[in-house]
């Protein structure tokens, strides 16, 4: 079993991943800053659940603090680093852009420096489908160009991908970067659509639906997503410079580094109004819908090509949206006594 550092362990995805890894008998060391971007009490509740395991420890600091990060990594000496901590949210990047520079760029640089010194067995880093930006080719494939980000959030995550590749090349650090597609499920973030819609429908408050409902998202259930990450931990990319000429560069992601780039999505987009319909059914009341135009930086559709993910892991993400929405609504009503 491995010693695994998970940054952002009190976050939505980090919590679910840490929980899964603990169930697989790994030792998990969480790092989280508990920033007030959204309800800190929700983050504390997630962390409290994880701390019930004797194989979990939490370090509380921001990854922008290079000294604290290096001390923690040096003390723990993990086999694996899974870097999920980030300032998330497409729309918030319009309001507070500096948070994205500090957390996503400086924080990821600090992680890469720590990995350069530690040389972990495998470094895994979260990116986002937002890097596909203005790309109109559907579905989005890892080999598509991502040169036109539409928000600073997307630009910082694209920069993280590039930095990770350079460190992988220069220091021979086996690295996997994965792009997430519209992750949802229990313990989700309050700034995400499913959380907002559920809360407002229960309260009888109107919901804002952008682009007049003409939106499709590749909604990915969180348990499926973290299952894929856990599987990828053991799929360490080799260095193509040492491989046979026939090495599959779609899987490796690079001709000059032990680096892999993969989409993680369900690869089955759902119309936004259909998604809202599932929430209405679970909640037992209709939504009051306020149709809006397209928001700056938003895109009408996301759709993951997961051919490479299936080739590397042999798995598919299959949880139906109606099942995932039901599980979220059940959790929401239980947690908030709604």
The CA-CA-CA angle for residues 156, 40, 75, to 5°, reads 70
Cα separation, 192 vs 220, whole angstroms: 13
Alpha carbon separation from 253 to 143, 158, 176 (Å, rounded): 8, 14, 9
100 a catalytic residue: no
Please enumerate in sequence order all residues whose Cβ is within 8 A of that of 258, keeping only pairs 6 or more positions apart, or say none. 168, 172, 173, 174, 175, 236, 237, 238, 239, 240, 252
Beta-bridge partners for 126: 178
Please enumerate in sequence order all residues whose Cβ is within 8 A of that of 239, keeping only pairs 6 or more positions apart, or say none. 172, 174, 257, 258
Please enumerate in sequence order all residues whose Cβ is within 8 A of that of 135, keeping only pairs 6 or more positions apart, or say none. 144, 145, 146, 148
Instruction: Verify cis geometry, omega within 30 degrees of 0, for the bond prior to 139.
Output: yes
Please enumerate in sequence order all residues whose Cβ is within 8 A of that of 242, keeping only pairs 6 or more positions apart, or say none. none
Radius of gyration from C-alpha coordinates of the chain: 19
Of residues 15, 92, 153, 184, which has the active-site annotation?
153
Residues with a catalytic annotation lie at 153
């Amino acid at each position: 079993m491995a010693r695994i550092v998970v940054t952002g362990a009190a976050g939505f995805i980090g919590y679910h991943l840490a929980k899964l890894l603990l169930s697989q008998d790994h030792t998990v060391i969480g790092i989280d800053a508990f920033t007030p971007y959204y309800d800190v009490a929700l983050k504390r509740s997630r962390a409290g659940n994880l701390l019930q395991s004797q194989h979990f420890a939490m370090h509380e600091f921001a990854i922008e603090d290079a000294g604290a990060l290096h001390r923690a990594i040096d003390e723990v000496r993990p086999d694996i680093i899974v870097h999920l901590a980030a300032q998330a949210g497409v729309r918030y990047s319009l309001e507070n852009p500096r948070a994205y520079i500090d957390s996503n760029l400086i924080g990821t640089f600090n992680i890469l420096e720590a990995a350069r010194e530690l040389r972990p067995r495998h470094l895994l880093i979260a990116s986002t489908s937002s890097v596909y930006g203005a790309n109109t080719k559907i579905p989005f494939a890892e080999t598509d160009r991502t040169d036109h980000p539409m928000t600073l959030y997307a630009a910082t995550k694209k920069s993280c991908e590039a930095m990770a590749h350079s460190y992988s090349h220069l220091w021979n650090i086996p690295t996997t970067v994965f792009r997430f597609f519209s992750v949802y499920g229990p313990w989700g973030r309050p700034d995400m659509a499913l959380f907002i819609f559920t809360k407002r429908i229960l309260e009888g408050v109107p919901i804002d639906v952008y682009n007049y409902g003409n939106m499709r998202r590749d909604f990915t259930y969180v348990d499926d997503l973290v299952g894929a990450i856990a599987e990828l931990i053991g799929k360490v990319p080799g260095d193509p410079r040492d491989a046979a000429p026939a090495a599959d560069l779609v899987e490796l992601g690079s001709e000059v580094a032990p680096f892999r780039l993969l989409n993680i999505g369900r690869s089955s987009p759902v119309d936004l109004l259909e998604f809202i319909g599932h929430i209405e059914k679970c909640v037992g009341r209709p939504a009051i819908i306020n149709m809006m135009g397209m928001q700056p930086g938003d895109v009408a559709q996301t759709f993951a090509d997961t051919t490479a993910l299936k080739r590397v892991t042999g798995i598919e993400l299959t949880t139906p949206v109606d099942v995932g929405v039901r599980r979220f609504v059940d959790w929401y009503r239980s947690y908030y006594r709604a």
